Structure 1
Amino acid sequence: MSLRHAILVLLQDQEASGYDLAREFANSIGLVWNATHQQIYLELGKLNEKDMVKFRHIPQDGKPDKKMYRITEEGRDELIRWLRKPAAPPRIRDAFMVKIAGGALSDPSSILRELEDQADLRRERLNTFEDLARKLDDRDSDKNMYTYLTLRRGILDQQAWLNWAEEVRSELRRREDLTTSV
């Protein structure tokens, strides 16, 4: 998957500014694909050059004109083509998991501290996903159903991570107890 396809997914139903898209990345598609404002604006420029999106200027008082982007037929065709292809397996890049793998060279208390920080972030993300899922009032619409299914995956992922963290916490505390009792 590329940022291109994530942007086209967001533009499939309505036009949006770069700012609107960045906000959607923070609140919805960001569950599965992260992008910075700069990356989004760069990709919008590339999509425009390839005629996959078009934009219109909206004048604003005291600010630069806003560009409202919409998907074109070429963009919709590209999105459909991509949707019909099998997805590649996800690549995981998790620095904390590498720290756990190398944990024998660390001390359990420092891993526990970082685990708690990570768990706080995961609980916050879980609460956000659950709030977003509750706000989807009409799951009968196609868009909301697919958004809900994506949110459910995010919810289950966060719950599984927090369950795993509890196992790690228990094991590391047990190890600490063994070390202090010797």
Structure 2
Amino acid sequence: MSLRHAILVLLQDQEASGYDLAREFANSIGLVWNATHQQIYLELGKLNEQHMVSFRHVPQEGKPDKKLYSITEDGRQELIRWLKKPAGPARIRDAFMVKVAGGQLADSGALLGELEQLSKQRRERLATFEALAQRLDEQGREENLYSYLTVRRGILDQRAWLQWAEEVRQALEHASVGLPTS
């Protein structure tokens, strides 16, 4: 998957500004794909050059004009083409898991501290996803089926990570009991 496809997915039903897209990445599609404001704006420029999106200027008082992007027929055809291709396996890039793998050289107290910070972030993300799932349910799950299914995956991912984190915490606390103090 590329950023271009994530943007096209977000634009398939309604036009949006770059800011709107960045907010959607932070709140919903960020479940499965992360992007910075800069990456989004760069990709929008490329998509516009390739005629996969178009934009219109919306005047704003006291601010520069806003650009509202929408998917073009070329963009819709690219999205359909991409949707027909197999996705392939997901890649995991988790620096903390690498730290745990190399943990024999690490300070277990530092790992536990980082684990707690990451767990707090995951609990917050879980609460956000659960609230989003409830809103989608209230709006009508059938009408929001694909968004709902994506959010459910996010919920399950967060719960699984938090369960793993608890196992790590217990193992590190148990291992640190037998270590000599210096």
Shift of 1:80: 0.3
Correspondence 1:70-109 to 2 at 5 A:
70-109=70-109
Q: What CA distance in whole angstroms lies between the structure 2 residues aligned with 1:134 and 1:57?
A: 35
Aligned residue number for residue 30 of structure 2: 30
Shift of 1:107: 2.4
Q: What CA distance in whole angstroms lies between the structure 1 residues aligned with 2:180 and 2:128?
A: 39
Aligned-CA RMSD value: 1.2
Q: Please, what TM-score do these two structures have when normalized by structure 1?
A: 0.95
Shift of 1:180: 5.4
Aligned residue number for residue 141 of structure 2: 139
Identity within the alignment, %: 73
Shift of 1:16: 0.8
The alignment of Structure 1 onto Structure 2 pairs a total of residues equal to 179
Shift of 1:60: 1.1
Counterpart of 1:69 in 2: which secondary structure?
strand
Aligned residue number for residue 67 of structure 1: 67
Aligned residue number for residue 19 of structure 1: 19
Q: What CA distance in whole angstroms lies between the structure 1 residues aligned with 2:142 and 2:33?
A: 25
> Which ranges in structure 1 are unaligned for 5 or more consecutive residues?
none
**1:45 counterpart letter in structure 2:** G
Q: What CA distance in whole angstroms lies between the structure 2 residues aligned with 1:107 and 1:10?
A: 43
Aligned residue number for residue 165 of structure 2: 165
Shift of 1:83: 0.3
Shift of 1:179: 2.4
Correspondence 1:105-124 to 2 at 5 A:
105-124=105-124
Q: Please, what TM-score do these two structures have when normalized by structure 2?
A: 0.95
